Amino acid sequence: MRAHVVEASEADSARARVAIVTGAGRGIGAKVAAALAARGCDLMLTARTEPEIAGVAQEARRGGRRVAHLAIDLTAPDAVDALMESTLDAFGRLDIVVGCAGMLAASPYLETSDESLQRTINVNLLAPMRLSREAARAMCSRGGGRIIHVASMFAFVSSRQHVAYTACKAGLVGLTKALAVEFAGHGVQVNAIAPGHVRTPMIAQALALPDGERQLARHTPIRRIAEPEEVANVAAYLALDAPSFLTGEVVVLDGGYTCR
């Protein structure tokens, strides 16, 4: 499996930090890619669909950054190994991982099949666990790095018909805290973002309903849903600007939803 790479100047690339962004083909992941590119990072972008990820990579290139992309399903056997190998081959290092890949499948729990449960767990929890392990391995060898997981406010509050998703996002919070302790002595900071409702394709069906957006926003004290750029800005802060003492933290970006 070969990554498609867009080159920057040698001088620029020597100064840049290298970031993997998963789920970068659209939604939050695409905006995270844009925010990190704007801040001078070189990028390895992944998503399952080639046209989507190629388009995001082309846009990131406009700032002169080196950009590689892989159309890959991170739940597939050896996919994480392939991603890490491609990243290190293309850039020679890894400084940042932002895990945005995820899926949402709604169904009453008593009607949820084992196959659906396993797929949800594979995408939302097992793949991030594997990627974090291999990313931390590379980061520890260099003396540090930053891993950011995109969890959800539903790690802390319940949602009807989203049992598997909720359990996985709670698992991501636990993973974040456990890895922060595990790798603190190696200079690897691990933090998470727990967004509320965000205007992304994941909730497009709900937004398309009559009065759908108002219904999603009505329990949020700020009285609106979030824009993906807002999540991306927090991710960029955690990846680039957060103090080195900040690890194991979960930034709940929900407009006050969980404060009610």
Active-site residue flag, 165: yes
The reported pLDDT for the residue numbered 63 is: 83
Give the pTM.
0.93
Look-up: residue for tokens 């909720």?
Answer: 166
Least Cα distance to 24 among 44, 3, 1, 2 occurs for 44
Q: CATH number of the domain at 4-259, out of 3.40.1390.30, 2.60.420.10, 3.40.50.150, 3.40.50.720?
A: 3.40.50.720
Split the chain (260 residues) into runs of 10 and give each run's mean pLDDT: 52 72 97 97 96 95 93 96 97 98 94 96 98 98 96 94 96 98 98 97 90 93 97 98 98 96
CA distance 13 to 112: 47
Tell me, what DSSP letter sits at residue 240? I
CA distance 144 to 134: 13
The reported pLDDT for the residue numbered 15 is: 63
Sheet containing strand 18-22, edge to edge, reads 4-6, 67-71, 42-47, 18-22, 96-99, 145-150, 188-195, 250-253
Q: In Å, how far are 194, 209, 217 from 212, measured between CA atoms?
A: 22, 5, 9
Catalytic site residue from 109, 165, 237, 257: 165
Run of H or E residues at 71: strand 67-71
Give the three-class secondary structure for 98.
Answer: strand
Q: What is the per-residue burial (b if ≥16 Cβ within 10 Å, else e) of 143-164?
A: eebbbbbbbbbbbbeeeeebbb
The reported pLDDT for the residue numbered 8 is: 46
Taking phi over 0 as left and psi of -120 to 50 as alpha, with beta for the rest, 155 belongs to: alpha
Where do the domains of the chain lie?
Answer: 4-259
